[in-house]
Amino acid sequence: MEIIKQAPLRAMAVTPHPDDCEGGCGGTLSKWIQESGTAGVVVLCTNGDKGTGDREMEPAELAAIREREQQEAADVMGANDVVFLSHPDGGLEDSMLFRSQLVREIRRHKPDVILCIDPYRSISHTHRDHRMSGQVAIDAAFTYAWNPQHFPDQITQEGLEPHMVKEAYLWGSETPDVFVDITDFLDTKAESLSRHASQMSADPVARAKRIRSWAAETGEKAGLTHAEGFRRIQFNLESVIMRT
């Protein structure tokens, strides 16, 4: 167990749907960006067009609303870019296309840390898009982005360079082992979540209370008042590549 106090220079959150990253790492990302000047980017994998029980809602209309909400939420966190991959909600696959898209964003934005959902859970089940986005993000970082032999057109035709991501922070993990104190950023997290108005209950006070008690519960594991917890993967790519 470790409490993370140092912010990375560059971080990229890979979120399957609008609102997942604010719920999972919104406090941490806001803190890194606003306190330490981390360059933060959000990659939104799907357009969230199935995120309603309203039979009258047109998926295209919902997608437009949710992409706008995601931009606003990212602005609250202070992210300097939001990338919309616009896969259909429920349609993420572990495909070459999706992998190449995440590799491209890693090569463009050169994050030291990627934040994504832990795709490996054994006790609780999660949305298929959550598993796919977490899995493909980790694979993009470890196996593909650093190696010029993968997706070489991005290098020869798009002018990108291979990039080594140092670490992945996985939110929603059953076994978090690193924690970030988000006490001063609870309000920012709540505010960023409230920008996803189409997905949220109308009561912002109850929502803020829920966020506070969830963060307190997580913080308890690390002796912090309020925290977000992650399972960390340190890729150690330099030493891995030297051996191959």
The pairing of beta strand 227-234 with beta strand 167-171: antiparallel
Residues 13-42: x where in contact with Zn ion by CB under 5 A, - otherwise, as a string: ---xx--x----------------------
Q: Give the separation between CA 114 and CA 132, rounded to whole angstroms.
A: 15
> Please, what is the minimum distance in Å from the beta carbon of residue 201 to Zn ion?
16
Q: Is 89 an interacting residue with respect to Zn ion (CB under 5 A)?
A: no
Closest to Zn ion by CB, 92 or 215: 92
> Please, what is the minimum distance in Å from the beta carbon of residue 54 to Zn ion?
17
> Please, what is the minimum distance in Å from the beta carbon of residue 172 to Zn ion?
10
Query: Count of residues binding Zn ion (CB under 5 A)?
Result: 3
Beta strands (DSSP E) in the chain are 2-3, 10-15, 39-46, 81-87, 113-117, 167-171, 178-181, 227-234
> Please, what is the minimum distance in Å from the beta carbon of residue 116 to Zn ion?
12
DSSP secondary structure letter of residue 213? H
**Distances in whole angstroms, Cα of residue 143 to Cα of each of 22, 97, 99, 147:** 27, 15, 10, 7
Question: Which residue's Cβ has the minimum distance to Zn ion?
Answer: 17
Judged by CB under 5 A, the stretch of 9-17, 29-37, 141-149, 232-240 that binds Zn ion is 9-17
Chain contacts with Zn ion (rule: CB under 5 A)? 16-17, 20
